């Protein structure tokens, strides 16, 4: 079997790692692989955004399955291109990817189908948006509707801040066309939870829930990033809560997409807030999360390939159940100096040899590459995601932190408090 993974970050490295375990004999390919994917897959010289060329290449090379990592090619319609060539692809159509690429669409869908989410309004004209913000009593969140790489959201404390955020998003062009339409919504409170679910457009198979750390600084301080770490499982997500999430959110959302003529086949990622009124949707993503994938997949005992192939071939997930390890996982992201602002690249990385042969530590590469002399160097803001497995989240986080300390590159920074909420909960119960 030949499998192509589109994308080249930590999430895609984790997908390859799992695929290699599921199918030791498969031939794996990746678009412009990074410094860590070489060992698992052949790198092809095409970008994730070259949709036509990728479909052509997959056809020519008789690829049996293509798995799309990032949202941008999905929003551009990569799954439709592959579908037109009758190539099995894992990832939703362009129309279905709107659940992530248009927050206005996602919020409208939830409103039309009674799926719990924060109260909201959508605006395309600044004066109306300003009037609305002045009229609401509580704090709001201002969001650019389009894709903004996780940066188009301003959580506001007061009206003045909200007015500034509106002007910057709609007039200042801070998020380009993504900000021409804004969603203003009620600010919710509670802990967040990332829930991945495999879906064939009808059946839903949830994966183990995870929590990520979006802020750059410890204690959730500083600006937002693509994600500085994650852990799983999350004890707040009891079987009862997950049953409720499935019943009130996942199944109704998948049914709503089908009812609106854009069935969602692929990986639905529900970003939830556990509010005093129950779980509510913060956002949907149309693909695996990064870095949550780096903790969820190492805990998956059963095959990922089997259900993914079923979905990509247009089959059914009826009766499919996933098997999970009883362990916990934590991942620490090592970032380049300056990230999430400007950062250098080409900085040499020293990876201790013992990490690469460890059973319970997995070093996933994100922004790395091999220099001409074969040396490993940095090539992005998020450089590595170091996942550790252990019986508890606290122990996994400790191991991940120790491994993160032992890796060296100039400017390296990372959070030493991955999983702190879970660890506080465990200590409170002890």
239 neighbors 65 (Cβ within 8 angstroms): no
Q: What's the angle, vertex CA 59, arms to CA 55 and CA 63, rounded to 5? A: 100
Q: Are 233 and 208 in contact (CB under 8 A)?
A: yes
Residue nearest to ligand AMP (CB): 283
Cα distances (Å, whole numbers) of residue 165 to 8, 155, 168, 184: 32, 9, 5, 10
Residue nearest to ligand GLY (CB): 289
Beta strands in 179-220 (DSSP E): 182-186, 191-199, 204-206, 211-212, 215-217
Instruction: Report d(CA 174, CA 356) in Å as an integer.
Output: 41
Residue 401: exposure state from Cβ atoms within 10 A (0-12, 13-18, ≥19): buried
**Binders of ligand AMP in range 195-254 (CB under 6 A):** 214
Q: How far apart are the first and last CA of the chain?
A: 49
412: tokens are 């390296």
Question: Which range, of 68-76, 148-156, 242-250, 358-366, touches ligand AMP by CB under 6 A?
Answer: 148-156
Interface with ligand GLY (CB under 6 A), residue from 12, 130, 200, 290? 290
Least distance CB 387 / ligand GLY (angstroms): 14
Q: Which of 354, 378, 346, 352 is nearest to 365 (CA)?
A: 378
Among 88, 227, 229, 381, binds ligand GLY (CB under 6 A): 227
CB-wise, 153 or 361, nearer to ligand AMP?
153
Nearest approach, Cβ of 125 to ligand GLY (angstroms)? 29
Report the site for ligand GLY in 256-285 (rule: CB under 6 A). Answer: 285
Asked if 69 contacts 48 with a C-beta cutoff of 8 angstroms, the reply is: yes
Comparing CB distances to ligand GLY, the nearer of 169 and 285 is 285
What, of ligand GLY, ligand AMP, none, does residue 290 touch, CB below 5 to 8 Å by kind?
A: ligand GLY
- Residues 162-201: x/- map of binding to ligand AMP (CB under 6 A)? -----------------------xxxx---x---------
d(CA 382, CA 10): 9
Per partner kind, with CB cut-offs from 5 to 8 A, the member of ligand GLY, ligand AMP, none near residue 340 is: none
Least distance in Å: CB of 225 to ligand GLY? 9
Interacting partner of 417 out of ligand GLY, ligand AMP, none (Cβ under 5 to 8 A depending on kind): none
Stretch that binds ligand AMP, among 150-158, 339-347, 371-379, 413-421 (CB under 6 A): 150-158
**Residue 283 touches which member of ligand GLY, ligand AMP, none, C-beta under 5-8 Å by kind:** ligand AMP
Instruction: Identify which range of 20-28, 138-146, 273-281, 287-295 contacts ligand GLY by CB under 6 A.
Output: 287-295
User: Would you say 181 or 290 has its CB closer to ligand GLY?
Assistant: 290
Three-state SS across 215-247?
Answer: EEECCCEEEECCCCEEEECCCCCCHHHHHHHHH
Shortest reach from residue 285's CB to ligand GLY, in Å:
5
Of the candidates 331, 336, 332, 334, the one whose C-alpha atom is nearest the C-alpha of residue 380 is 336
Asked if 12 interacts with ligand GLY (CB under 6 A), we say no
Angle between the 126-135 and 159-170 helix axes, to the nearest 10 degrees? Answer: 170
**Which of 130, 212, 398, 422 touches ligand GLY by CB under 6 A?**
212
Q: How many CB atoms lie within 10 A of CB 184?
A: 25
Shortest CB 329 distance to ligand GLY, Å? 15
Q: Is 62 exposed, middle or buried (0-12, 13-18, 19+ CB in 10 A)?
A: exposed
Say which entry of ligand AMP, ligand GLY, none residue 155 contacts (CB below 5 to 8 A, set by partner kind): ligand AMP
Q: Give CA torsion, residues 99, 96, 291, 318, to 10 deg.
A: 120
Residue 201 contact among ligand AMP, ligand GLY, none, beta carbon within 5 to 8 Å by kind: none
76 close to 51: Cβ distance less than 8 angstroms? yes
Q: Fill in the per-residue mask, 131 to 170: x = in contact with ligand GLY (CB under 6 A), - = not in contact.
A: -------------------x--------------------
In the complex, the residues that contact ligand AMP under the rule CB under 6 A are 118, 141, 143, 150, 153, 155, 185-188, 192, 214, 271, 282-283
In the complex, the residues that contact ligand GLY under the rule CB under 6 A are 150, 212, 227, 285, 289-290, 292
């Amino acid at each position: 079997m030949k499998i192509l993974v589109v994308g080249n970050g930590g999430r895609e490295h984790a997908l390859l790692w799992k695929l290699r375990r599921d199918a030791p004999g498969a031939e794996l390919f990746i678009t412009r692989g990074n410094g860590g994917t070489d060992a698992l897959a052949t790198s092809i010289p095409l970008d994730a955004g070259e949709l036509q060329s990728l479909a052509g290449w997959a056809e020519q090379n008789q690829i049996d399955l293509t798995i799309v990592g990032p949202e941008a090619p999905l929003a551009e319609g990569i799954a439709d291109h592959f579908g037109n060539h009758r190539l099995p692809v894992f990832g939703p159509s362009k129309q279905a990817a709107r659940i992530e690429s248009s927050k206005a669409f996602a919020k409208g869908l939830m409103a039309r189908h009674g799926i719990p989410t924060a109260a909201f309004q959508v605006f395309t004209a600044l004066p109306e948006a300003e009037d609305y913000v002045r009229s609401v009593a509580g704090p709001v969140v201002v969001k650019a509707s389009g894709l903004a790489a996780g940066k188009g959201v301003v959580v506001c404390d007061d009206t003045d801040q909200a007015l500034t955020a509106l002007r910057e998003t709609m007039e200042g062009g801070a998020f380009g066309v993504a900000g021409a339409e804004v969603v203003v919504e009620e600010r919710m409170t509670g802990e967040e939870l990332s829930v991945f679910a495999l879906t064939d457009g009808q059946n839903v198979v949830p994966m183990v829930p995870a929590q990520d750390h979006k802020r750059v600084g410890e204690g959730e301080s500083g600006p937002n990033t693509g994600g500085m770490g994650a852990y799983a499982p999350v004890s707040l997500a009891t079987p009862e809560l997950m049953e409720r999430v499935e019943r009130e959110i996942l199944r109704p959302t998948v049914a709503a997409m089908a009812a609106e003529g854009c069935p969602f086949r692929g990986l639905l990622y529900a970003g939830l807030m556990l509010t005093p009124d129950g779980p509510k949707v913060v956002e949907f993503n149309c693909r695996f999360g990064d870095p949550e994938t780096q903790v969820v997949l190492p805990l998956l005992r059963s095959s990922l390939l089997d259900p993914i192939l079923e979905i990509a071939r247009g089959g059914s997930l009826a009766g499919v159940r996933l098997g999970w390890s009883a362990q916990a996982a934590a991942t620490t992201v090592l970032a380049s100096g300056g990230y999430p602002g400007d950062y250098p690249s080409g900085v040499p990385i020293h990876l201790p040899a013992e990490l690469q042969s460890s059973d319970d530590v997995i070093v996933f590469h994100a922004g790395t590459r091999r220099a001409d002399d074969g040396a490993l160097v940095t090539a992005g803001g998020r450089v590595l995601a170091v996942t550790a497995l252990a019986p508890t989240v606290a122990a996994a986080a400790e191991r991940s932190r120790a491994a993160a300390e032992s890796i060296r590159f100039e400017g390296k920074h990372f959070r030493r408090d991955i999983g702190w909420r879970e660890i506080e909960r465990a200590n409170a119960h002890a």
